[in-house]
Structure 1
Amino acid sequence: MILFFGTRPGKKESKNLTGVSCPHCDQYGTLTSVSQTNYFHLFWIPLFKIGTNSFAECSHCKRGFYKEEFSAEMERAINP
């Protein structure tokens, strides 16, 4: 019997962070957050969530922020 299993990323979810200033250039409304969940799958069917990767980017200065670098203001805008 052959068993196919592994991990696979889910769909990306983008969200504009309005009313939040970029910690690097201090521009308001320029941050976009992207989240992607990774799933364990068996026979290409996702069974359960393993983890989530989050990233934010400023469209003005093009600075990227990993989840560990999010300010408290950015966290509140992502998770109301």
Structure 2
Amino acid sequence: MILFFGIRPGNTTTINMRHIKCTHCNQNDTLSGESTPNFFHLFWIPLFRVSTTQIIRCNHCKKGYYKEDFTKEMQAAFEN
């Protein structure tokens, strides 16, 4: 019997972060965040979420922030 299983990404959601300053270039309203859930699947059917990848990018200086680099304001924008 053959089983097809693994981890695949789900749908990415994009958030525009208003009134948050980029710590690299000090520009306001230039940050956008992306959140992508990763699902465990069996026969290409997603069963449960394993993790979520969150990345914030500045549209002005192109700096990328990973979850461990988030400020309190950035983290609060993802929770809302």
The TM-score, its normalising length taken from structure 1, stands at: 0.95
Matched residue type, 2:65: F
**Partner in structure 1 of residue 58 of structure 2:** 58
Cα distance in structure 1, aligned partners of 2:78 and 2:47: 26
**Partner in structure 2 of residue 4 of structure 1:** 4
RMSD after superposition: 0.8
The TM-score, its normalising length taken from structure 2, stands at: 0.95
After superposition, the C-alpha distances for 1:5-63 in whole angstroms (9 at most, x for unaligned) are: 11110011110001111011111100000010100000100000000001000001111
Matched residue type, 2:61: C
How many residues end up aligned between the 2 structures? 80
Between the aligned residues of both structures, percent identity stands at 50
Cα distance in structure 2, aligned partners of 1:77 and 1:38: 20
1:26 aligns with 2:7: no
| Structure 1 runs (4+) greater than 6 angstroms displaced | none
Cα distance in structure 2, aligned partners of 1:10 and 1:62: 24
Q: Which runs of 5+ in 2 are unaligned?
A: none
